[in-house]
Amino acid sequence: MRILLTGAAGFIGSHLTEHLLTIGHTVIGLDNFDNQYDPGRKQINLRLFKEHTNFGFVQGDVRDQALLTDILRQYTCDTVVHLAARTGVRDSVREPALCIDVNVNGTLSLLEAMRKTNVRRLVMASSSSVYGNSSFVPFREDDEANRPLSPYAMSKRSAELLAHTYHHLHGFDVACLRFFTVYGPRQRPEMAISRFTEKMYGGQPITIYGDGSTSRNYTYIYDTVMGISQAINHLNGFDLLNIGGVASVNLRDLVSLIEQAVGKKAVIDWQPNQPGDVTLTSADLHRASNRIGYLPSIHIEEGINRFVRWYRQSVLCL
């Protein structure tokens, strides 16, 4: 396949690019190196495969419909994986207009470019945040998901609805993958596991919002990449699929696991709950298992140890 991958230099995008190149696909990466976090981190990610013979890269913004149209035509792509986004619940509360512009208008721009170039295969990143504080646990894809708690969650649900419209009107095959808190090497620095690890090694306090009882379904990056790859191979019609980890874990237990892996006790700065945060994420994976064969394999204990080992070798040694 010849795949246009938006957000190719980011955390998930760089891991996915490596995998797709390894199994023989051609990848055309797009990234705009925005300033949500240090763009230098993405430049480092890109070096891992920039010289690969089956990789091409274009620096640009997913909202640039003319550019996307040119890329799809020039490289004769047959499939698109859309990961580019303005990420983060709390950032979206601070900057809602930017979040909605990138995530909704950017997705619309991509869908229009695909329509114009007759590319009809799309796998796109959504988020477990679309479920809000759902009363149905574990979260199932047939939940209405109509009560988002943040602009980010709203933007991701809106992007799903846009994709369904293009499936209905133009025959697109679409898989919207609802990711559940992805972690692992090269994770974005503002995310909890990365931030806690950095603070613990530096002897600085970690900030916990609420009483530590919130719970998340953490998904190791390997499992997420396998889910995306399987979705590419099984694209047919329109689907919403949870791509989650083995089990949910509460925040106190997560901190304890990081403490054990780092070998230091955390100093905790307790703060009130933040607007937009949900109390629980929990993934029902039956549909993803039945439709694309998705089954996560990395338990949180192993995943945390792998992440901390990478951090020690790749970040502390710089």
Active site residues: 152
Q: How far apart are CA 268 and CA 192, in angstroms?
A: 13
Evaluate the omega torsion of the peptide bond into residue 39 and state whether it is cis, within 30 degrees of 0: no
For the beta carbon of residue 54, count every other beta carbon within 10 angstroms.
Answer: 14
Q: Which residue type is seen at 226? A: M
Give the helix ranges, DSSP H, for the chain: 11-22, 39-47, 65-74, 89-94, 96-100, 106-117, 151-170, 192-201, 221-233, 251-262, 286-292, 300-314
DSSP state of 72: H
Instruction: For the chain, state the CA radius of gyration.
Output: 19
Beta bridge partners of 182: 219
Q: How far apart are CA 33 and CA 76, in angstroms?
A: 24
Burial of 271 (0-12, 13-18, 19+ CB in 10 A): exposed
Beta bridge partners of 5: 29, 81
